[in-house]
Amino acid sequence: MTKSRNLRPPRLFWTPEQLALLREHYPHRRTCTLEAIIGRDVHSIYAKASQLGLKKSAAFLASPASGRTTGHQGIGTRFTRGHQAWNKGTRYLPGGRAAETQFKKGHRGGRALEVYKPIGAERISKDGYLQRKINNDMPFQKRWRGVHILVWEAANGPLPKGHAVVFRDGNKQHINISNLELVTRAELMRRNSYHMNYPKEVGQIIQLRGALQRKINKRKKDERPTHTTK
């Protein structure tokens, strides 16, 4: 018993006569007209012409026989350089009842309406901070601000650049001006490193020691005598 095999059609090689006809007619005729002359299909003719480096002649490409534009077709309906549109400078005004069905500025619908929160609304962030919506501007992350920051700014003015407001007792829900402290970002990074590298109790002792040292330094600075020049 013999196994059946898929037999591929025999490959047809180009004859010297076909190659001669290709070189003679390809540069000056449309390729689709060469099928009957050469006896090969269009794809085979294109492939062999590319292999041989044959190109259409400039005279043929410029002639109507090529099917390409000569540069004069449709010249009467083209825009010329410097042409101005008839409606330049005019504002589009929809006709009919289009204005009645247009979305008004600030319109919200669908999912945007479902998740919308008014200014003054509050939420708990993923980090556990109480936040309040202060505007509807963009970007979205600028619409919400920590309530503890708002309380501190109400008492002290705008938050300085490179600083943060932290909770003295570590309780993010204890929002009281007496429990809020302004620290630099560098100091905040050091404090966070304490929590990562030491037990919670040790970290708190280190923070208290740092706060005490800052108060001592400030007291010394305030008590330092000032020298006047005569």
Judge whether 120 lies within some domain.
Answer: yes
Among all chains, which residue has been given the structure tokens 């309780």?
A: 171
Q: How far is CA 38 from CA 19, 43, 57, 145, 174, in A?
A: 8, 13, 19, 79, 92
Q: Are residues 132 and 61 in the same domain?
A: no
Q: Are residues 131 and 33 in the same domain?
A: no
Judge whether 2 lies within some domain.
Answer: no
pLDDT at residue 230 in the model? 46
The DSSP letter of residue 36 is H
Tokens of 25: 């007619």
pLDDT tens track for 15-71: 999 999 999 999 999 998 899 899 899 999 999 999 999 999 988 888 888 777 655
Judge whether 7 lies within some domain.
Answer: no
pLDDT higher than 60, residue 227 = no
Per-residue pLDDT band for 209 (boundaries 50, 70, 90) equals: confident
At residue 165, the 3 state secondary structure works out as: strand
Judge whether 191 lies within some domain.
Answer: yes
Instruction: Record the pTM.
Output: 0.41
Q: Are residues 47 and 136 in the same domain?
A: no
pLDDT at residue 216 in the model? 84
Position 163, amino acid: H
Rama region for 58: left / alpha / beta (φ>0; ψ in -120 to 50; rest): alpha
Which residues are registered as beta bridge partners of 146? Answer: 131
Distance (Å, whole) CA 134 – CA 140: 11
Give which of 164, 198, 197 is closest to 181, Cα–Cα.
164
Distance (Å, whole) CA 85 – CA 51: 48
pLDDT tens track for 69-127: 655 666 667 777 888 888 888 877 766 676 666 666 666 667 767 778 889 999 999 88
Q: Are residues 129 and 189 in the same domain?
A: yes
Give which of 63, 52, 76, 79 is closest to 29, Cα–Cα.
63
Q: Residue 47 half-sphere exposure, CB side, CA atoms within 13 Å? A: 7
Instruction: Provide the residue range defining the domain that includes 58.
Output: 16-66
Q: Are residues 123 and 208 in the same domain?
A: yes
Average pLDDT over residues 201-220: 74
Judge whether 229 lies within some domain.
Answer: no
Helix (H) or strand (E) holding 122: strand 122-124
CATH of residue 196's domain is 3.90.75
pLDDT at residue 7 in the model? 66
Judge whether 33 lies within some domain.
Answer: yes
If one counts the domains in the chain, the total is 2
Judge whether 80 lies within some domain.
Answer: no
Judge whether 34 lies within some domain.
Answer: yes
